[in-house]
Amino acid sequence: MKVESLTDMAKRYLEKWIVTESLKPGQQIKEDEIASKLEISRPPVREAFKALESEGLVIRKPRRGVFVVKMSKADVIEVYMLKASLYAMATELALEHITGEQLEELGDLVQKMEDCIHVEGSDILNYQEFHRKFHLRIMDIAGNRRLEIIASNLHKQIQRFSYQTLHDKNHLTKSLKYHKKIVEKILERDTKNACKIMKEHVLDAMNFLIKMPGLFDSTLTKA
């Protein structure tokens, strides 16, 4: 079992704070403050910043410091369009050699997503985590490491927006239904419709997001 390093721990907390907007888009993140809050030294925080910068979650501005990345509506649409195509591609590749055991794993993850919905008030953070694992498992089965890395980075860039949209109960329920349909089509070995539904799922999330009132005001323009 891999022991979490201090850098990984700092990165995990920073990702959570960015997703839940405890750290706002455009907000400066101070190394010493994070180190003090996590009760660790500054070097692991510095390394966590580097990792988050490579994933597009923070930006380092010369002589100014590290800031949470801000995204415009155009940025978000661009990411979702790429994500939809990559997720569909991963589904197609996975269906070439998916096993019954792997299919069972995907079904179990969807069940865990459903369990999160039925918790009082809905457990959005854990729903997102099982959702992430579902798509990562498909990419792992697909066997294309570069696709997995690129898609994972894209997902992280828009995760905070996904977190906001999933607070809408209807959208949350619709997201679950899409995943159930995806598993159903994979079980049927229906590659064409599995890929089609996968792409629809991502684009539906994008369309819901860009219609949310007040989300893309001047405070969310690109840094």
Same domain, 87 and 62: no
Same domain, 103 and 161: yes
Same domain, 101 and 117: yes
203 within a domain of the structure (yes/no): yes
Same domain, 16 and 99: no
Q: Name the CA radius of gyration of the chain, rounded.
A: 18
- Mean pLDDT, the chain, whole residue set: 90
Q: Tell me what pLDDT residue 220 has.
A: 38
User: Could you say which of 27, 42, 68 is where a domain stops?
Assistant: 68
Q: Tell me what pLDDT residue 2 has.
A: 56
Q: Is residue 42 predicted with pLDDT exceeding 50? A: yes
The pTM of this model reads 0.79
Q: What CATH number does the domain containing 203 carry?
A: 1.20.120.530
Q: Are 79 and 157 in contact (CB under 8 A)?
A: yes
Give the closest residue to 151 by CA, choosing from 53, 83, 76, 77. Answer: 83
Measured from the Cβ of residue 36, the count of other Cβ atoms closer than 10 Å reads 12
- Domain with 21, as residue range(s), is 6-68
For every residue of 71-118, DSSP letters joined together read --HHHHHHHHHHHHHHHHHHHHHHTTT--HHHHHHHHHHHHHHHHHHH
H-run or E-run covering 120: none
Nearest-10 crossing angle of helices 145-165, 6-19: 40
1 within a domain of the structure (yes/no): no
Q: Is residue 217 predicted with pLDDT exceeding 60? A: no
Q: Where are the alpha helices (DSSP H) in the chain?
A: 6-19, 31-38, 42-54, 73-94, 100-118, 124-142, 145-165, 169-187, 191-210
Same domain, 19 and 78: no
Q: Tell me what pLDDT residue 222 has.
A: 41
Q: Tell me what pLDDT residue 198 has.
A: 97
Query: Averaged over 98-107, what is the pLDDT?
Result: 96
Same domain, 57 and 162: no
pLDDT in tens, 117-175: 988 777 888 998 899 899 999 999 999 999 999 998 888 888 888 878 888 899 999 99
Distances (CA, A) of 102 to 27, 199, 216: 41, 21, 39
What whole-number distance in Å separates Cα of residue 186 and Cα of residue 192? 10
Q: Which of 19-28, 120-129, 137-146, 204-213 has the lowest mean pLDDT?
A: 120-129
